[in-house]
Amino acid sequence: MGFGAGIGVTSNPISYRLAFGAYEDALRMVGVTSEPRVAGTVVSAARIQMFAATVQDANPSYWDADFATRTWGGLLAPPALLMGWLIPLPWEPGGRPPGAAIALRVPLPGTTIVNAANEAEFPLPVVDGDRLTIVEEVVSVSPEKRSKLGVGHFIETLDTFTRQDGAVVATNRNTLFRFTPPATMQSAAMRRSGG
Site string for other proteins, 142-181 (x = CB under 8 A): -------xx-----------------------x------x
The SS3 assignment for 147 reads strand
Contact residue for other proteins among 53, 139, 167, 168 (CB under 8 A):
53
CA distance 156 to 125: 25
Strand ranges in the chain using DSSP code E only, listed in sequence order: 9-11, 17-19, 37-38, 112-121, 133-141, 145-147, 150-162, 168-180
**Of the listed pieces 2-10, 21-29, 47-55, 138-146, which binds other proteins according to CB under 8 A?**
47-55
CB 172 within 8 A of CB 87: no
**Is the Cβ of residue 59 or residue 164 nearer to other proteins in the bound state?**
59
100 binds other proteins (CB under 8 A): no
Count interface residues toward other proteins (CB under 8 A): 59
Is 55 near other proteins (CB under 8 A)? yes
Measured CA distances, 21 to 5, 24, 29, 175, 181 (Å): 13, 8, 12, 19, 17
State the first-to-last Cα distance of the chain, in angstroms, to the nearest integer: 41
The binding site for other proteins (CB under 8 A) comprises 14-16, 47, 50-61, 63-64, 66-67, 71-72, 76, 78-84, 87-90, 112-123, 125, 149-150, 174, 181-182, 185-186, 189-190, 192-193, 195
